[in-house]
């Protein structure tokens, strides 16, 4: 598992850890049932405080990605594909509504917005 | 599991020209606490009081829920690294072990030699031949070899190069991989603590300015900046340690008071250094 | 008990850097014993040892032993008691060695041993050495070495610069002289009494000094 902490970033460190582990789980880079490094091992490796890694793991547990078994370790939970898709879709919806709000502030027309989206999609596809 | 490794309540000690007053903080088991403050703020005095190298005037200190003067065996559970060595200069490293090991019931020679090897220290080397960084490592090796559960470090990183500092941080994090171990770490080099500390206690002029989680500090305080014309006597009341320059001002703000500042002022995340600098200006 | 043993051992380790100087200085009493008085050599050796013991305070202070005592799992008063015990131990060993030198020198030069002379000197030397220690140690435990060192020299000054001339002056007085000689002769004839009296004085001195040190031990390091 790869986790890269950016100290200069505005994103809190626990959130950086949370997001990168979540991404690894969602992209199946770590498979379900796999044992994650313990909270304290992870803080040593990342050179961050125990409270920070604890917070990242608790959030991951709360959101149903991992399971913390006292004294044993943290496992990647099996995720119901359907629920997962729904959750991700909801995330997309939320982001879109944010975009629409910002577009409204800037008085951008729907067409301009779509064009921007298309442009971005092409760029991402080109990267791949 | 939420018991405290160290608990200090209303500690007081007065000297001719300095006074430590109403010092209270607690370090939960299994975590790292940074004791921060500028030189002379009272960090070393606090540590000496904890170890009873100084006699406290008032207050209470509990280590693993016991008071030291009632139970001297607690010291078996404590390890200390000071900024200066307490070994005889002419001792070889092997003498250090022979002289100190008998005092500890849980001394582990193989652990000690493991650390020596890791730190590139040879047993026939004399203490006075060691560099400052090496001396710190030797003290750390002694400290970590008798299975102490509370490690107290007093300015271990002052005068030590960044590489050795980084190694130290790694050792400390390795040490608390065991959830029963805790660390109290006094320093004025805040970059060390920015990374690894769970809790922070900030001492300023002998009193506690903040004690709590490190994240809590940044959630409670932020830095405010702006042009001098924005400062009024009314807003100044809510700002801490205002630093004025010809181009503007910066100050510390308790986030609860954010409603009292004008929108023209810029707020940003504080660092431990920021807090120290501004708190020092606040008299 | 174990702790005291360990603390005494710690003091021996602290003394280690002095070992070479001590060995070199052991030649001095031997030479002195040959050229001057064999009994005198016992006294010199023991006085020299008191100086060496003073250096232990200097070494432990320079090495921040105050902090070490704070870190080690020991009771605060124990380091004082063990320092006294350590000093006694060192002096006993030195006394034994110097007495052996005395015996050896006597056999070599005279072919016989003047036991009375030896025991008188040994007893007086031990009492004097312990007298010095008893006055110095409380000072060392109370003050910093550099400060206490000046004060600790005082007993020597009192003893040699004032006491000796004073006695010499008084000796000119005939009645005083005869009385002193009577006492000295008495002890020469009753060495047993001298030894017992010496031991009594020593125990009294050391015990009261130790108690004083414990009382006035610097509270602030």
**In Å, how far from its chain's centre is CA C153?**
13
Nearest beta carbon to residue B31 from set A38, A41, A50: A50
Q: Which of C99, C130, C127, C126 is nearest to C115 (CA)?
A: C99
Residue A60 contacts residue A36 (beta carbons within 8 Å)? no
Q: What is the pLDDT of residues C165-193, one digit of tens each?
A: 887 788 788 888 888 888 888 888 888 88
Nearest CA in chain B to C13: B99
Supply the DSSP string of C52-112, one letter for each residue: HHHHHHHHHHHTTHHHHHHHSS--TTHHHHHHHHHHHHHHHHHHHHHHHHHHHHHHHHTSS
Report the C-alpha gap between B228 and B254 in whole angstroms. 20
Fold of A13-76: Arc Repressor Mutant, subunit A (1.10.10)
Mapped onto helix, strand or coil, the DSSP state of residue B21 is strand
Å between A44 CA and nearest CA of chain B: 5
Q: Domain boundaries in chain B?
A: 4-205, 217-281
User: CB-based burial of residue C160 (10 Å sphere; 0-12 exposed, 13-18 middle, 19+ buried)?
Assistant: exposed
Q: Which of B143, B22, B20 is nearest to C68 (CA)?
A: B143
Report the C-alpha gap between C16 and C88 in whole angstroms. 17
Fold of B217-281: Alpha-Beta Plaits (3.30.70)
Q: Domain boundaries in chain C?
A: 2-216
Report the C-alpha gap between C23 and C13 in whole angstroms. 16
Phi-psi region of B112 (alpha: psi -120 to 50; beta: other; left: phi over 0): alpha
C 38-67 residues inside an 8 A Cβ radius of B:
59-60, 62-67
Q: What is the pLDDT along chain B (283 residues), one digit of tens a residue?
A: 468 999 999 999 998 888 999 999 999 999 999 999 888 888 999 999 999 888 889 999 999 988 887 777 889 999 999 988 899 989 999 999 999 999 999 999 999 999 999 999 999 999 999 988 889 999 999 999 999 999 999 988 877 888 888 888 899 999 999 989 999 999 888 887 778 999 999 999 899 999 999 989 988 999 999 888 888 888 888 888 888 888 889 999 998 888 888 888 888 888 888 899 998 887 6
Mapped onto helix, strand or coil, the DSSP state of residue C173 is coil
Q: Do domains B4-205 and B217-281 have the same CATH topology?
A: no
Q: Which of B207, B251, B215, B199 is nearest to B37 (CA)?
A: B207
Tokens linked to B156: 């271990």
CATH architecture for residues B4-205: 3-Layer(aba) Sandwich (3.40)
ipTM reported for the complex surpasses 0.90: no
| Chains touching B, CB cut-off 8 Å, 3+ pairs | A, C
Q: Domain boundaries in chain A?
A: 13-76, 81-127
| Chains touching A, CB cut-off 8 Å, 3+ pairs | B
Report the C-alpha gap between B141 and B36 in whole angstroms. 24
Q: In chain B, what residues touch A51 (CB-CB under 8 Å)?
A: 31, 198-199, 213-215
């Amino acid at each position: 598992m790869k986790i890269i902490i950016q100290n200069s970033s505005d994103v809190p460190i626990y959130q950086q850890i949370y997001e990168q582990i979540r991404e690894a789980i969602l992209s199946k880079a770590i498979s379900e049932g796999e044992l994650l490094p313990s909270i304290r091992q992870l803080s040593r490796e990342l050179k961050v405080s125990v409270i920070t890694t604890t917070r990242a793991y608790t959030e991951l547990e709360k959101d149903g990605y991992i399971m913390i078994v006292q004294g044993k370790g943290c496992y990647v939970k099996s995720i119901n594909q359907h629920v997962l898709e729904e959750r991700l879709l909801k995330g997309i919806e939320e982001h879109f509504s944010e975009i629409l709000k910002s577009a409204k502030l800037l008085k951008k027309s729907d067409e301009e917005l779509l064009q921007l989206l298309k442009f971005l999609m092409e760029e991402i596809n080109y990267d791949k | 599991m939420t018991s405290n490794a160290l608990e200090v309540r209303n500690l007081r000690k007065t000297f001719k020209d300095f006074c430590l007053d109403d010092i209270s903080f607690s370090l939960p088991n299994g975590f790292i606490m940074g004791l921060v403050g500028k030189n002379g703020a009272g960090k070393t005095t606090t540590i000496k009081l904890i170890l009873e190298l100084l006699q406290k005037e008032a207050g209470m200190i509990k280590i693993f829920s016991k008071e030291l003067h009632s139970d001297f065996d607690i010291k078996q559970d404590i390890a200390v690294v000071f900024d200066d060595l307490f070994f005889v200069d002419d001792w070889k490293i092997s003498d250090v072990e022979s002289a100190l090991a008998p005092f500890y019931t849980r001394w582990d020679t193989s652990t000690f030699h493991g650390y020596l090897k890791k730190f590139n220290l040879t047993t026939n080397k004399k203490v006075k031949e060691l560099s400052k960084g090496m001396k710190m490592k030797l003290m750390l090796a002694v400290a970590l070899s008798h299975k102490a559960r509370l490690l107290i470090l007093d300015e271990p990183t002052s005068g030590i190069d960044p590489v050795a500092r980084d190694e130290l941080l790694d050792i400390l994090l390795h040490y608390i991989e065991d959830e029963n171990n805790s660390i109290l770490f006094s320093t004025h080099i805040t970059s060390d603590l920015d990374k690894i500390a769970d809790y922070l206690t900030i001492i300023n002029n002998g009193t506690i300015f903040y004690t709590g989680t490190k994240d809590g500090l940044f959630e409670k305080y932020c830095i405010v900046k702006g042009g001098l014309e924005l400062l009024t006597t009314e807003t100044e009341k809510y700002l801490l340690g205002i630093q004025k320059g010809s181009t503007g001002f910066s100050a510390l703000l308790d986030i609860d008071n954010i409603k009292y500042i004008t929108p023209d002022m810029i707020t940003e995340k504080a660092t431990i250094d920021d807090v120290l600098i501004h708190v020092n200006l606040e008299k | 008990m174990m702790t005291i043993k360990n603390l005494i051992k710690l003091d021996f380790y602290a003394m280690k850097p002095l070992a070479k100087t001590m060995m070199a200085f052991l030649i001095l009493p031997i030479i002195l014993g040959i050229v001057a008085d064999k009994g005198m050599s016992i006294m010199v050796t023991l006085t020299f040892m008191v100086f060496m013991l003073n250096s232990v305070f200097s070494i432990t202070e320079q090495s921040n032993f105050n902090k070490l005592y704070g870190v080690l799992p020991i009771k605060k008063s124990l380091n004082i008691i063990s320092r006294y015990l350590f000093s006694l131990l060192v002096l006993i060993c030195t006394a034994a060695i110097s007495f052996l030198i005395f015996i050896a020198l006597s056999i070599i030069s005279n072919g016989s041993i003047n036991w009375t002379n030896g025991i008188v000197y040994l007893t007086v030397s031990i009492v004097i050495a312990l007298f010095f220690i008893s006055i110095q140690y409380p000072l060392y435990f109370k003050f910093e070495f550099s400060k206490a060192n000046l004060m600790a020299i005082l007993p020597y000054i009192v003893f040699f610069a004032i006491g000796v001339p004073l006695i010499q002056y008084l000796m000119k007085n005939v009645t005083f002289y005869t009385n002193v000689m009577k006492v000295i002769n008495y002890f020469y004839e009753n060495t047993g009494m001298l030894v017992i009296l010496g031991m009594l004085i020593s125990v009294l001195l050391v015990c009261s000094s130790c108690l004083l040190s414990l009382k006035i031990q610097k509270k602030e390091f």
